[in-house]
Amino acid sequence: MRVLVTGGAGFIGSHVVEALGARGHEPVVFDVREDAGADVRDRDAVARALAGVDAVCHQAAMVGLGNGFTDAAEYVSRNDLGTAVLLTGMAEAGVRRLVLAGSMVVYGEGRYLCEWHGVVRPGPRTVADLTAGRFEPVCPACGEALSPGLVGEDAPVDPRNVYATTKLAQEHLAAAWARSTDGTAVSLRYHNVYGPRMPRDTPYAGVASFFRSALARGEAPHVFEDGAQRRDFVHVRDVAAANVAALEASSPVGALTVYNTGSGEPHTVGAMARALAAAYGGPEPVVTGEYRLGDVRHITADSSRLRAELGWKAETGFEDGMREFARARLRDE
C-alpha cells in the first residue's frame, strides 16, 4: 500500500514510516517539520498529498496535558479541525482506510473496584486532597479505598482536559467519516509511549522524556505525587508495529474500531524513574510530592483485544526498553 503518514517526521510517526517500509509498503511523509506547507488544516496541501494514496496513518497532533484553556483554540485547530480537513480530503479522493493515533487520555481515570460497591468511577481529585498528599481516589459512594485495574475499550470515556477532549473528538470525526464513506477506521489508543527520538524537555513531552532529559543534564528526575501512580509504558517500535497491523487488517467497513495499545505490564511512575536512572547511571530520582491538577492517578490498559484480533503483541520488555532509552538520542523539538 501507498500510505500517507501525517506527522511522519515526528517521534512516533518516524517509527511508523520505518515499520511500513520494512513491511514493503510505500510510506509518504506529510509533516511540517519537513515541509512548512504540510499542514493538515490546509485543504489544498492535503488534497495534493492524498493523490495516489491507498490509506492514511494519522499521527499529526498537538500533544500534551492541556489542563488549562490558554491553548484550547490551538489544540482544537490542530487536532480536530486538522482531522476534519484530512477526512474531507480522503472522502473526496476516495481513500477509504484510516488508522488514527488515539490516546488512553479519553478514559480519564482508570478502572477502580470498591470492595462494597463494585466498579466505580471516582471524580476528579480536589486541590485540597492533592495538597494534603491524599493522592489515591476514593469510592464516591462510601469514601473507602479503591483497587485500580485494567481499562477495557468498552469503558466509559471521561476526558478531563483539553487535549483529551480533542482526542475523543478525533475519534467521533473518524467514526462519522467511516459511516458516510463506507470506510474503515481504527483508533489505536496509545498508552505512555517512550523510546528513541522522543522529544526532549518540551511542554508537550511525556514523563519519560522529562526524566531522561534531567539525567542527561546530570540532574535527578523529579517524580510528582508519591511516585505510585500506575501507567503502561509501551515502546515506540511496538506502537509502530501496531499501526502496521491495523493498516493491514480486515477491519469492519463503515465503523470505527478502537484498540488499547499498551504493553500489558503496568508499572509505577516511580519504578520507571528508578529503572531509567539505574540504566543511565544515576542520579537517583527525587519524589517531590508536587502535583498537576488534571493528572489522573492510575490509567493502565487491557490490550488483549488488539492481541486477539490483530495478532499484535508488545515485543520490547520494560527493562530492555529502559536500558535502550537511557542511551537513546532525544529530539530537540
List residues bridging with 138 in a β-sheet. 145
List residues bridging with 120 in a β-sheet. 112
Cell 479519553: give the residue. Answer: 106
* In contact, 17 and 197? CB cutoff 8 Å: no
* In contact, 17 and 29? CB cutoff 8 Å: yes
User: Using CB atoms within 10 A of its CB, is residue 278 exposed (0-12), middle (13-18) or buried (19+)?
Assistant: middle
Which run of H or of E encompasses 163? helix 162-181
CA 310, distance to chain mean position in Å, is: 19
Maximum Cα interatomic distance, the chain, rounded to a whole number of Å: 58
Q: Which of 318, 30, 34, 59 is nearest to 194 (CA)?
A: 318
CA distance 308 to 299: 21
- Residue 280: active-site member: no
Q: Which of 75, 107, 112, 163 is catalytic?
A: 163
* In contact, 97 and 55? CB cutoff 8 Å: yes
> Could you give the count of Cα atoms lying within 13 Å of 26 in the half-sphere of its Cβ?
5
Residues labelled catalytic? 163
